[in-house]
Amino acid sequence: MSIASSRDAVVTARRRFFGEGRSVDGMLAAPILRSWQRCAGQGLDVSRSPLVEPPTARELRELHERHDRLGRLARPELNALQGDARLTGSVVILTDAAGVVLDMIGDGAFAGRAAQVALRPGVSWSEADTGTNAIGTALVERQPIAVHGAEHFFERHRILACAAAPLIDPRGRVAGALDMTGPAAIRHVHALGLMRLAAEQIEHRFFSEGFERCTMLRLHTDRALLGTPREGVLAFADGILVGANRHGLDLMNLDWPALDLARLETLLPGVRPSEQIQMLRGPRGTRLWGRLIEPPRRSSRVPAAAAVAAPAPASPAGEVEPILDAEMMAQLSRAVRLVEAGIPVLLLGETGSGKDVFARRVHAESARRSKPFVPVNCAALPEGLIESELFGYEAGAFTGARRQGAPGLLRQADGGVLFLDEIGDMPLSLQSRLLRVLQDKQISPLGGGRPVPVDFALICATHQPLGSLLAAGRFRQDLYFRIAQYVVERPPVRHHPDRLALVRTLWRQLGAEEAGVQLSAEVESVLAAYNWPGNYRQLVGTLRALLVLGEPGHPVEVSALPAEIGAAASACDSQISVPPMTSLAEHTRSALQAALEASGGNVSRAARRLGIDRSTYYRRLLKDKDRG
């Protein structure tokens, strides 16, 4: 079929479907028609433009911090595709699991045109928000999708030609999408294939972090493809399958529900670990080539695989645990007792303040530590899939459902701890279902079936002010009182009583002593005085970067600091650096006074110089006067 006739067929299908309400079966690719039907069923009006709100600079920064790992693992593919995108007048886009654009590179001129239809970082391109498009539809369908011109749901998106592939993590969850978008007047016939291959590269790279303690099985029917992104990968912890890619599952005739159930000895009886390539016999008698590699022996400092659901490590892989002072240790002890008694705990705190790590510590120290810890980011789940992801579904419950059905995340937490992060972003329609589960202690999967009893301890977290959401009617009051029976506030880094000691402790935890890398006294002073709006996540990320840039025997200097932190350092008067033999109280008094004098008596400006907020400055100033 030619491009012109294809365009004519789509125009005819639009007239019949949207204008006349007639069937268009056979006139469109099946995924496009299913998407049109979903969008119409959700009440989207094809004659109107989608309503989008561009994010603030702070929201965009928090979005990037929240998805730092995904961005880092996808960066090589984005860079590799940049040249191809420029040659074809296109852009390459990385999104999170909800379809929110994280990064966009490629042709600058087309990026400007794309921004006119809100295709820019921080904007959601989920089906629920932006109608039929390659990103949103690929996330719902869980398969690569191309959407060209008038195949888009909304008229104003007809200028776009898009191809996207979903990114599936080793636990079978949608992690994001990779998309190439260009002008509809130019059909890039290789775009979909490029996205599929790039997505495989990123999914293969997912195994480079978080599986240090797993036995890895890498296999393929073609010996030459071992070690490439086309190989199958399966990860085993204590002989149980805990992670895989789609190639690996297909080669072993498995699907995602096999995670946490399938055993290596059953799948490949008699196989022995070996760095050498060995011939294996697959479950269908297929000859396979593979390596079974045991984890290297390391010290207990190495974090366990973050992807393993049962039991979960106290901290996600690669995370440095925030320091708990005496008060927080007491709160941790109380939270453990409450979780063991089945009483929900609510964690409040800014982004990056360590709510996730605190929840994992509670699980690790509770009687449920041998059972799963199941984290669910309510803000990251695609709106069209959140219900099925949480509550599970029966076989054939909806188009695209897995043939065996799926248990859902709530059932996966049975016996363990369910951690609902960003609970404030859960849609109202699902809040009532969650409340019913908490009351009845049983789950009814989509598509019918008998209710299934569940037993899990609940920990929720949010950075949002739930009081404001309650007043605005965006959060159910009855659910709030159900989940907030005990509230723990995670303080931001800027409120830490001794940030210099905090910096030094985290620096040691990162292994700086073993590496022989030191921070200069000036760098320590700058890091201790900085405001850290991204809290522990930003602080630890900065320290990691300095550790990489540092050299043994040469202290890391201020010139190595990130630009925004270096700018804050240059704004501070040199008088507020920490004297070697001065007490913390004396240093604080000197810093407060010096900043105030340098700011001409302006308290707000003095607080900004020190990297703290105005109320904190007043509180410390009054405290210092009381001591005097």
pLDDT digits 0-9 by tens, 33-50: 999 999 999 889 888 878
Three-class SS of residue 508?
Answer: helix
Handedness of CA 596, 599, 605, 609 (dihedral sign): negative
Say whether both 370 and 484 belong to one domain: yes
**Mean pLDDT, the chain, whole residue set:** 81
Q: Classify strands 91-96 and 452-453 as parallel, antiparallel or unpaired.
A: unpaired
Distance, CA of 91 to CA of 106 (rounded, Å): 4
**Residue 305: predicted pLDDT:** 32
Q: Measuring CA to CA, which residue among 196, 182, 147 is closest to residue 10? A: 147
Domain count, the chain: 4
How sure is the predictor about 171, in pLDDT bands with cuts at 50, 70 and 90? very high
DSSP state letters, 595-625: HHHHTTT-HHHHHHHHTS-HHHHHHHHHHHH
**Residue 565: predicted pLDDT:** 83
Among 275, 293, 311, identify where a domain stops.
293
DSSP state letters, 71-89: HHHHHHHHHHHHHHHHHTT
**Residue 603: predicted pLDDT:** 65
Q: Is residue 103 part of a domain?
A: yes
Of 43-57, 279-293, 359-373, 482-496, the one with minimum mean pLDDT is: 43-57
Q: Is residue 88 part of a domain?
A: yes
Q: Is residue 64 part of a domain?
A: no
Say whether both 369 and 484 belong to one domain: yes
Say whether both 102 and 245 belong to one domain: no
What is the average pLDDT across 352-376? 87
Which CATH number fits the domain that encloses residue 91? 3.30.450.40
Q: Is residue 617 part of a domain?
A: yes
Q: Is residue 61 part of a domain?
A: no
Say whether both 375 and 482 belong to one domain: yes
Q: Is the pLDDT of residue 366 over 80?
A: yes
Q: Is residue 15 part of a domain?
A: no
How sure is the predictor about 200, in pLDDT bands with cuts at 50, 70 and 90? very high
Residue predicted with more confidence, 609 or 327: 327
Q: Is the pLDDT of residue 566 over 60?
A: yes
**Residue 607: predicted pLDDT:** 61
How sure is the predictor about 51, in pLDDT bands with cuts at 50, 70 and 90? confident
**Burial of 29: CB neighbours in 10 Å, binned 0-12, 13-18, 19+:** middle
Give the C-alpha distances (Å, rounded to integers) separating 284 from 232, 250, 252, 288, 484: 16, 11, 8, 11, 51
Q: Measuring CA to CA, which residue among 120, 119, 99 is closest to residue 166? A: 99
Of 37-41, 283-287, 481-485, 576-580, the one with minimum mean pLDDT is: 576-580
Angle between helices 355-364 and 326-340 (to 10 degrees): 60
How sure is the predictor about 370, in pLDDT bands with cuts at 50, 70 and 90? confident
What is the average pLDDT across 599-603? 64
What is the average pLDDT across 437-452? 76
Q: List % helix, strand, coil for the chain (3-state, nearest 5).
A: 45, 15, 40
Q: Is the pLDDT of residue 319 over 60?
A: no
Cβ atoms of 175 and 169 within 8 Å: the answer is: yes
Among 157, 192, 227, identify where a domain stops.
192
How sure is the predictor about 309, in pLDDT bands with cuts at 50, 70 and 90? very low
Distance, CA of 176 to CA of 138 (rounded, Å): 10
Q: Measuring CA to CA, which residue among 458, 443, 260, 306 is closest to residue 368? A: 458
Say whether both 240 and 349 belong to one domain: no
**Residue 391: predicted pLDDT:** 77
**Residue 592: predicted pLDDT:** 64
Distance, CA of 184 to chain centre: 31
Q: Classify strands 345-348 and 487-489 as parallel, antiparallel or unpaired.
A: parallel
Distance, CA of 479 to CA of 477 (rounded, Å): 5
Three-class SS of residue 163?
Answer: strand
Say whether both 282 and 216 belong to one domain: yes
Say whether both 399 and 535 belong to one domain: no
Q: Is residue 182 part of a domain?
A: yes
How sure is the predictor about 447, in pLDDT bands with cuts at 50, 70 and 90? low
Which CATH number fits the domain that encloses residue 582? 1.10.8.60
Say whether both 263 and 348 belong to one domain: no
What is the average pLDDT across 426-441? 84
Parent domain of 96: 83-192
Q: Is the pLDDT of residue 106 over 60?
A: yes
What is the average pLDDT across 90-97? 93
Q: Is the pLDDT of residue 405 over 80?
A: no
Among 467, 489, 511, identify where a domain stops.
489
Q: Is the pLDDT of residue 82 over 50?
A: yes
Say whether both 503 and 484 belong to one domain: no
Say whether both 615 and 472 belong to one domain: no
What is the average pLDDT across 537-541? 86
What is the average pLDDT across 574-584? 40
Q: Is residue 143 part of a domain?
A: yes
187-196 residue pLDDT tens: 777 889 889 9
DSSP label at residue 462 = E
Q: Is the pLDDT of residue 157 over 70?
A: yes
**Residue 470: predicted pLDDT:** 87
**Residue 570: predicted pLDDT:** 60
How sure is the predictor about 403, in pLDDT bands with cuts at 50, 70 and 90? very low
Say whether both 187 and 255 belong to one domain: no
What is the average pLDDT across 48-68? 82
**Residues above pLDDT 70, as percent of the chain:** 80
- Specify the pTM: 0.51
Say whether both 506 and 435 belong to one domain: no
Distance, CA of 270 to CA of 152 (rounded, Å): 52
Q: Is the pLDDT of residue 127 over 50?
A: yes
Mean pLDDT: which of 236-240, 567-571, 598-602, 610-614 is highest? 236-240
**Residue 146: predicted pLDDT:** 94
**Residues above pLDDT 90, as percent of the chain:** 27
**Residue 308: predicted pLDDT:** 36
DSSP label at residue 366 = S
How sure is the predictor about 289, in pLDDT bands with cuts at 50, 70 and 90? very high
Which CATH number fits the domain that encloses residue 373? 3.40.50.300
